[in-house]
Amino acid sequence: MHSITISLFVSLIAATLRLSTPIIFAALGGVISERSGVVNIGLEGIMIAGAFFAVLGSYLTQNAWVGILFAILAGMGIALIHAVLSINLRADQTISGVSINIFSAALMSFLLFKIFAREGQTDGVTQLSYPKEFFKSIPFIGNLLAELNWFVFIAFILAILLHLMLYYTPLGLRIRSVGEHPKAADTLGINVYKIRYLCVLLSGAFAGLGGASLSLGATNLFREGMVSGKGFIALAAMIFGNWKPFGALAASLLFGFAEAFRIVAQGFGWKVPDEVYYSFPYVLTMLMLAGFVGKTTPPAADGIPYTKGER
Categorize the per-residue pLDDT at 6 as very low, low, confident or very high, splitting at 50, 70 and 90. Answer: confident
Average pLDDT over residues 202-218: 95
Question: Would you kindly state where each structural domain of the chain is located, as residue ranges?
Answer: 1-292
Q: Report helix angle 43-61 to 64-83, nearest 10.
A: 150
Mean pLDDT estimate for the chain: 90
pLDDT above 60 for 278: yes
pLDDT above 80 for 287: no
pLDDT above 60 for 49: yes
pTM: 0.92
Q: Where is average pLDDT lowest: 143-157, 189-203, 284-298?
A: 284-298
Write down the CATH number for the domain with range 1-292.
1.10.3470
Give 74-88 pLDDT, tens digit per residue. Answer: 999 999 999 999 999
Give 223-242 pLDDT, tens digit per residue. Answer: 999 998 899 999 989 998 99
Give 70-124 pLDDT, tens digit per residue. Answer: 999 999 999 999 999 999 999 999 999 999 999 999 999 999 999 998 888 988 8
pLDDT of residue 7: 77
Q: Where is average pLDDT lowest: 44-53, 103-112, 258-267?
A: 258-267
pLDDT of residue 283: 79
pLDDT above 60 for 12: yes
Which among 250, 170, 201 is positioned nearest to 33, based on CA atoms?
Answer: 201
Give the DSSP H/E element, type plus range, for residue 107: helix 93-116
Q: Which amino acid is at 120?
A: G
Cα separation, 12 vs 222, whole angstroms: 25
Burial of 115 (0-12, 13-18, 19+ CB in 10 A): middle
Largest Cα separation within the chain, whole Å, is 70
Q: Which amino acid is at 212?
A: A
pLDDT of residue 51: 96
HSE on the CB side for 18, CA within 13 Å?
Answer: 21
Which residues are within 8 A (CB) of 176 and not within 5 positions of it... i.e. 6 or more apart?
35, 166, 299
pLDDT of residue 41: 95
pLDDT above 90 for 8: no
SS (H, E, C) the chain: CHHHHHHHHHHHHHHHHHHHHHHHHHHHHHHHHHHCCCCCCCHHHHHHHHHHHHHHHHHHHCCHHHHHHHHHHHHHHHHHHHHHHHHHCCCCHHHHHHHHHHHHHHHHHHHHHHHHCCCCECCCCCCCCCCHHHHHCCCCCHHHHHCCCHHHHHHHHHHHHHHHHHHHCHHHHHHHHHHHCHHHHHHCCCCHHHHHHHHHHHHHHHHHHHHHHHHHHHHCCCECCCCCCHHHHHHHHHHHCCCCHHHHHHHHHHHHHHHHHHHHHCCCCCCCCHHHHHHHHHHHHHHHHHHHCCCCCCCCCCCCCCCCCCC
pLDDT above 60 for 261: yes
For every residue of 38-79, DSSP letters joined together read ---TTHHHHHHHHHHHHHHHHHHHS-HHHHHHHHHHHHHHHH
Angle CA 28–81–72, to nearest 5? 45
Q: How far is CA 41 from the centre of its chain?
A: 12
pLDDT of residue 258: 85
pLDDT of residue 3: 57
Categorize the per-residue pLDDT at 4 as very low, low, confident or very high, splitting at 50, 70 and 90. Answer: low
pLDDT above 80 for 174: yes
